[in-house]
């Protein structure tokens, strides 16, 4: 909602085990940004914002 460029999926990993395997998920929450960048564990909103900017090279 904060940006028109950002979309976000919440995925129940036990129902979609192929995604848990694809993204090498061993613990949850496990956040994947643009298929390439992973964040494991709960983080602050600011840390997520910074991770998003890092993922797009900002």
Binding positions for another protein, rule: CB under 8 A: 1-3, 5-16, 19-20, 23, 25, 28-35, 45-46, 49-50, 52-53, 55-56, 58
Query: Least distance in Å: CB of 13 to another protein?
Result: 4
Query: Least distance in Å: CB of 24 to another protein?
Result: 10
Query: Least distance in Å: CB of 23 to another protein?
Result: 7
CA distance 38 to 51: 9
CA distance 30 to 32: 7
């Amino acid at each position: 909602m904060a940006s028109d460029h950002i979309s976000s999926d919440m995925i129940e990993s036990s129902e979609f085990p192929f995604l848990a395997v694809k993204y090498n998920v061993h613990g949850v929450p496990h956040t994947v940004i643009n298929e390439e960048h992973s964040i494991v564990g709960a983080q602050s909103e600011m840390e997520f914002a910074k991770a998003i900017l890092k993922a797009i090279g900002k």
